[in-house]
Amino acid sequence: MLTFYHAPWSRSSAVFWLLEELGVDYRMELIDIRAQGGVPETYRAIQPNKKVPAIDHDGTVVTERAAIAIYLGDAFPEAGLAPPIGDPARAAYLTTLVHHDAVFDPAICAKANGLSYTSNDYPFGLFDDLVAYLERRLSAQPFAAGERFTLADVILGTGISYTMDMLKALPEKPVFRDYVARVTDRPAYRRSTEKDAELAAQIPFFQKMMEGGGKP
C-alpha cells in the first residue's frame, strides 16, 4: 500500500501530480498544515517537522520531494519516467531533483523574504546565479534531464510555475514560460490540479480566503 500525506495547494502538490503521472494506486492522507493549533504531534512519526509531502510505501517512509521522486521513479520503472542507472540522462535527472530542494527552494525563499547575503554565506548561493543557471539549462534542452519528460520536470515545473506566477519571486522570462507550458500540457497535471482545487475548497483556511476574495 502506498500512502501519500498531502496538504492541498502546498509543496506536496508536486508529488500529487507525480503520483498521477506514475498511474499507481495510492491512498491519500490529508494533513491540514494550516489548521488552528497546527498539525497533531503524532504526525512527527512520519515527518519530523510536521510538513508535507511524505509517503509510506509498504512500511517504508520517505520524506522530501527529491527523495520521494527518486524513490518512486525507481520503484515504478514501468512508467518510464525515471532514467535508470546507466542511462546518461540519470545524472541530469538526479541533479535537477536535488538542486531544486537544496538550491532553488532556499534561494527563492531568501529572495522573497529580502535576505541580503554573499555567495559564501549560505550553501545555496546567490539568487542571480540560480536564475542564470536555470535560463541556461532550459535554453539548451527542452526538459530537465534532456530530450524527454521525466519526474524531474514535475518537481521543477511546479517550482518555476508557482514562484513565477504566484509568489512573483522568480522573474518572468520567455524560456521559463515556454518550459512551464511544455511540461504542464499533460493529462496527469490537469487531473491533479483539478482534484487539488476540490480538496482545497474543503479546508477552512482557504474557505475564508476565498470568501474574502483572496488567492492562495
Residues 60, 107, single domain; the answer is no
Torsion, CA 109, CA 91, CA 191, CA 62, rounded to 10: -70
Residues 100, 167, single domain; the answer is yes
Residues 136, 73, single domain; the answer is no
- Quick check: is 37 in a domain? yes
Contact call for residues 99 and 127 (beta carbons, < 8 A): no
21-31: average pLDDT: 98
Q: Structural domain of residue 163, as residue ranges? A: 90-185
- Here the CATH number for the domain that contains residue 25 is 3.40.30.10
Mean pLDDT of the chain: 96
Degrees (nearest 5) of the Cα angle 18, 67, 170?
70
Percent of the residues in the chain that have a pLDDT greater than 90, as a whole number: 95
Chain Cα centroid distance, residue 37: 26
- Here the CATH number for the domain that contains residue 120 is 1.20.1050.10
Reported as a single tens digit per residue, the pLDDT across 107-148 is: 999 999 999 999 999 999 999 999 999 999 999 999 999 999
**What is the structure's pLDDT at 208?**
87
Q: Which of 38, 53, 79 is the last residue of a domain?
A: 79
Residues 97, 138, single domain; the answer is yes
The amino acid at residue 55 is: I
- Quick check: is 12 in a domain? yes
The number of distinct structural domains making up the chain is: 2
Torsion, CA 107, CA 109, CA 111, CA 116, rounded to 10: -80
Residues 64, 127, single domain; the answer is no
- Quick check: is 212 in a domain? no
- Give me 81's grid cell: 519516467
Residues 27, 59, single domain; the answer is yes
**What is the structure's pLDDT at 215?**
55
Residues 7, 62, single domain; the answer is yes
Confidence tier at 17 by pLDDT (50, 70, 90): very high
Residues 70, 135, single domain; the answer is no
**What is the structure's pLDDT at 172?**
97
Residues 40, 10, single domain; the answer is yes
Residues 49, 102, single domain; the answer is no
Distance CA 9, CA 178 (A): 23
Residues 14, 97, single domain; the answer is no
189-197: average pLDDT: 98
Residues 9, 42, single domain; the answer is yes
